[in-house]
Copies of this chain bind each other. A is one copy, B any other.
Amino acid sequence: MTELGVELDCLAGVKVVDFTQFEAGPSCTESLAWLGAEVVKVENPGVGDPGRRLQAPGAPDNDPWYFHQFNANKKSITVNLKSPRGLEIVKAMLAKADVTVENMAPGTIERLGLGYDEVKKINPGIIYCQVKGFGTGSPYEKSLAFDMIAQAAGGPTSVTGEAGQPPVKPGPSFGDTGTGMLMAISILGALYKRAQTGQGRRLQVAMQDAMIHYMRVPFSRTQLTGKAPARGGSTKSQQGGLVPSALYPCKPGGPNDYVYIFCSRGNPEHWQRLLKVIGREDLKGDERYDTQNARSQRPAEVDEIITAWTRDHTKEEAMKIIGEAGVPAGAVFDTAELMAEPSLAERGIMQTIDHPTTGKVKMPAWPVRFDGRTAKVKPSPLLGQHNTEVLAGWLGMSAAEIDGLKAEGILGN
């Protein structure tokens, strides 16, 4: 496989002490690592970040895939934070860091002695970042959150699903990575300023609040009508809405054999082009269908006209033919299909890493191209892989000192 990734050096020299776990925090620090920051994950000896899904020290690592996704390009050290010497080491690292990020349960980092006030004393110029489920001052401030909780409490679940049916949680973990991305933007803004002024910052984001940021189209409908939007699913164009705008079934009829087809309000040409490619130019000028206003009164008829054509085509054919005609069309691709799509690998959007224990893994990369190339994905670290490198590099420890720490169990082995 061609290696298209390039090592980005945008954040070269930026040091991040990373206390994050699972996804909301790790996705944030990983984006900094992809941009070239040195991100050191501080993990508990034993099983480390619970996102590693390690059952017990030494047990087979039989599900490393989740961890690989969110911890590429990072380093890992293991330090027992409950030992005074371990805490001292981490504080020495924080004294040298530009950024630190944590997303532990409410109150945990403070109980470890690494709350904002403590860390600020050690390093007033640090950018200290916290991701929680709910905001300080919210009625749910002390509650735990995971992706599905954030997507419920922040709105996304309420607008997903079929008309008249219960809500559905959106499948992807937008609650986690969607939050991580907002924190990454904020950190980078703070870093830009800090490069000029040395100014430290405390940054905090709640997953519930982050979801609201992604809910602004539904909010704009509530501002218009005063009501929460009703769910409408997506397999039918809606009476009074944009028509067509729906998922249409394709051959051979598998669970994901659908294509989304959409004619925008702003471009009347979309409908004319669509009629042409589906062989229904006989309907050109037909006043039942010729304008959005007319079609919005006949959604079922319009859907049937389109379905008669899509049923005879695969979703790939439909997407290509309709898309090339200048009408928005998107096949419903699933992860297996995307994993097998050659152009994603050719373009460096999927990259194959060679992990020391897992072996070759094809995985998504940071999808933005810098001067035509994506960032090179490097394997996620083994637990404690960089103990020696980081303690020597950051803190100037000698090999003998590090061996001493290991012997005392401070580093867990």
Collect the chain B residues with CB atoms within 8 Å of residue A372's CB. 202, 204
CA–CA, A319 and B140, complex, Å: 8
Collect the chain B residues with CB atoms within 8 Å of residue A8's CB. 189
| A262 at interface, CB cutoff 8 A | yes
**Contact A367/B323 with A171-B156, A212-B338, A245-B148 known, Cβ cut-off 8 Å:** no
Contact indicator B68/A154 (Cβ below 8 Å): no
What residue in chain B is nearest A131 (Cβ atoms)?
B368
Contact indicator A224/B156 (Cβ below 8 Å): no
Contact indicator A205/B368 (Cβ below 8 Å): yes
| A94 at interface, CB cutoff 8 A | no
Q: Which of B143, B181, B195 is close to A329, meaning CB atoms less than 8 Å apart?
A: B143
**Contact A364/B35 with A330-B149, A334-B228 known, Cβ cut-off 8 Å:** no
What residue in chain B is nearest A134 (Cβ atoms)?
B323
**Closest-CB distance, A171 to chain B (whole angstroms):** 3
Contact indicator B219/A363 (Cβ below 8 Å): yes
Contact indicator A335/B50 (Cβ below 8 Å): no
Contact indicator A346/B258 (Cβ below 8 Å): no
| A172 at interface, CB cutoff 8 A | yes
Residues of A198-225 contacting chain B, CB below 8 A = 201-206, 208-224
Contact indicator B169/A215 (Cβ below 8 Å): no
| A238 at interface, CB cutoff 8 A | no
What residue in chain B is nearest A127 (Cβ atoms)?
B370
Contact indicator B214/A177 (Cβ below 8 Å): yes
We find that the number of chain A residues with CB closer than 8 angstroms to chain B is: 149
Which one of A160-168, A284-292, A300-308, A386-394 is at the interface? A160-168
What residue in chain B is nearest A27 (Cβ atoms)?
B216
Contact indicator B172/A68 (Cβ below 8 Å): no
Collect the chain B residues with CB atoms within 8 Å of residue A201's CB. 370-371
What residue in chain B is nearest A339 (Cβ atoms)?
B222
**Closest-CB distance, A288 to chain B (whole angstroms):** 23
| A328 at interface, CB cutoff 8 A | yes
CA–CA, A36 and B185, complex, Å: 13
Contact indicator A170/B171 (Cβ below 8 Å): yes
| A174 at interface, CB cutoff 8 A | yes
**Contact A172/B172 with A184-B185, A195-B195, A220-B69 known, Cβ cut-off 8 Å:** no
A149-B330, A172-B215, A178-B181 are known; give 6 further A-B pairs, CB within 8 A: A184-B185, A216-B364, A219-B339, A226-B336, A229-B334, A230-B255
9 residue pairs, one from A and one from B, having the closest CB atoms = A159-B171, A170-B170, A143-B323, A149-B330, A188-B188, A228-B334, A152-B330, A10-B189, A209-B367
List, sorted by A's number, 23 A–B pairs whose CB atoms are closer than 8 Å: A10-B192, A65-B219, A139-B320, A143-B328, A145-B328, A148-B260, A153-B331, A154-B333, A156-B171, A160-B172, A166-B235, A169-B234, A172-B214, A172-B217, A173-B216, A174-B178, A182-B368, A185-B368, A203-B370, A205-B369, A212-B338, A219-B339, A223-B361
